[in-house]
């Protein structure tokens, strides 16, 4: 089974839509190279699958709303199902990742694997992510065995992948076993609020939005909105909106070459092409026109 092309396909709430693997084998492997350039960052998103990211070369910072991990060569990080996360390279880096449905391990929701181990793990509020050091408890060996079997399409790779991912899942279960037996905790209000506000921004970024509009989408005050953004994704609501508009503009420049810069500026919510160019240059170190030309050469 070949590796899939690495790329995000997000819906309006930053949930990733790209299928990982197939219905009968819900696991996909990716390899990608990243730099500190704006277009190489991995934006905030989430998906139903568990994700394992292994740093083959260089360094990368991975963030969840509650934690931040610096991955160095040989490190592995596990991101839980349905957890918002983003990442950016520190310098340059090359990574390997496996994204898989919990059902690959459990078989079905009524199995002992689901009821006793996996469902409690993915429902654990203490587990948003876990950094696993180089060689710790054999987990990186298990990861690479699974990844390489998938990459090389060896005979019976399905057994090898499932066996090694099962080992990693049980390792994760053991790390959080004490928290799993604790009384069920209430859902994190900040995470629920940030998802509502991101959904609102992504649906309405082309409109003239104010801080009040964003805070009202989660039924909270402007002050609470700013606190929530700073705590969870370490950026203000207005800065996030601006950055999202610029990133959407960069995609439009390449995806709809028939549109003028002025039209794209308006489609991204900017009141003038000059403002769009000003902020675009700040993020990408070039004008929209130069960016379109460089990416199509």
CA–CA distance, 7 with 16 (Å, rounded to integer): 10
Residue 13 falls inside a structural domain:
no
pLDDT over 50 at 88, yes or no: yes
CB of 103 closer than 8 Å to CB of 77 = no
Is the same domain home to 112 and 256? Answer: no
Task: State the pLDDT confidence band at 18, using cuts at 50, 70 and 90.
Answer: very low
**Domain range enclosing 238:** 189-296
Alpha carbon 148 to chain centroid distance? 23
Q: Which residue has the higher pLDDT, 136 or 40?
A: 40
pLDDT over 50 at 19, yes or no: no
Strand partners, 71: 60
Is the same domain home to 110 and 218? Answer: no
pLDDT over 80 at 15, yes or no: no
Q: Which of 180, 204, 230 is the last residue of a domain?
A: 180
In CATH, what number is assigned to the domain containing residue 67?
2.60.120.280
Residue 49 falls inside a structural domain:
yes
Is the same domain home to 288 and 212? Answer: yes
pLDDT over 80 at 4, yes or no: no
Winning range, highest mean pLDDT, from 96-105, 119-128, 255-264: 96-105
Is the same domain home to 122 and 246? Answer: no
Is the same domain home to 123 and 99? Answer: yes
- Give the pLDDT score at 144: 94
- Give the pLDDT score at 182: 59
Is the same domain home to 197 and 116? Answer: no
Residue 9 falls inside a structural domain:
no
Structural domains of the chain, count: 2
pLDDT over 60 at 111, yes or no: yes
Residue 132 falls inside a structural domain:
yes
In CATH, what number is assigned to the domain containing residue 222?
1.10.10.60
Task: State the pLDDT confidence band at 195, using cuts at 50, 70 and 90.
Answer: confident
Residue 223 falls inside a structural domain:
yes
Is the same domain home to 31 and 159? Answer: yes
Q: Which of 131, 156, 180 is the last residue of a domain?
A: 180
Q: Helix 273-284 crosses helix 237-255 at what angle (to 10 degrees)?
A: 100
> Read out DSSP for the chain?
-PPPPP---B-TTSBB-S--S-SSS-EEEEEEEE-SSGGGSEEEEB-SSEEEEEEEEEEEEEE-SS-EEEE-TT-EEEE-TT--EEEEEEEEEEEEEEEE-THHHHSSTTSHIIIIIIHHHHT-TT-SEEEE-TTGGGHHHHHHHHHHHHHHT-TTHHHHHHHHHHHHHHHHHHHTHHHHTSPPPPP-HHHHHHHHHHHHHHHHTTS---HHHHHHTTT--HHHHHHHHHHHHSS-HHHHHHHHHHHHHHHHHHH-TTS-HHHHHHHTT-S-HHHHHHHHHHHHSS-HHHHHHHHH-
CA–CA distance, 25 with 160 (Å, rounded to integer): 12
Q: Show the CA angle centred on residue 130, arms to residues 124 and 133, nearest 5°.
A: 155
Q: Which of 159, 180, 201 is the last residue of a domain?
A: 180
Q: Which structure tokens are listed for 146?
A: 């699974």
Is the same domain home to 139 and 227? Answer: no
pLDDT tens-digit map of 133-181: 765 668 999 999 999 999 999 999 999 999 999 999 999 999 999 887 6
């Amino acid at each position: 089974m070949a590796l899939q092309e690495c790329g995000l396909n997000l819906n309006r709430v930053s949930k990733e839509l790209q299928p990982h693997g197939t219905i009968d084998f819900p696991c996909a492997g990716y390899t990608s190279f990243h730099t500190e350039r704006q277009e190489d960052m991995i934006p905030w998103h989430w998906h139903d699958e568990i994700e394992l990211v292994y740093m083959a070369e260089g360094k990368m910072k991975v963030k969840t709303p509650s934690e931040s991990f610096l991955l160095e060569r040989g490190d592995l990080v596990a991101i839980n199902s349905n957890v918002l996360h983003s990442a950016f390279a520190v310098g340059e880096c090359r990574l390997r990742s496996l994204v898989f449905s919990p059902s690959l391990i459990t078989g079905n929701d009524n199995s002992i694997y689901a009821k006793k181990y996996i469902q409690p793990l993915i429902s654990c509020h203490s587990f948003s992510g876990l950094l696993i050091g180089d060689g710790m408890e054999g987990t990186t060996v298990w990861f690479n065995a699974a990844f390489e079997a998938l990459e090389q399409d060896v005979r019976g790779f399905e057994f090898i992948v499932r066996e090694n991912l099962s080992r990693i899942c049980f390792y994760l279960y053991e790390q959080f076993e004490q928290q799993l037996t604790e009384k069920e905790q209430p859902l994190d209000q900040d995470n629920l609020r940030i998802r509502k506000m991101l959904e609102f921004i992504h649906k309405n970024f082309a409109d003239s939005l104010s801080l009040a509009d964003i805070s009202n989408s989660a039924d909270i005050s402007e002050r609470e909105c700013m606190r929530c953004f700073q705590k969870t994704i370490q950026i203000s609501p207005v800065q996030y909106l601006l950055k999202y508009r610029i990133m959407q503009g960069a995609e439009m420049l390449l995806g709809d070459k028939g549109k003028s810069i002025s039209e794209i500026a308006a489609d991204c919510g900017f009141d003038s092409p000059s403002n769009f160019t000003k902020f675009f240059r700040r993020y990408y170190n070039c004008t929209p026109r130069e960016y379109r030309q460089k990416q199509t050469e």
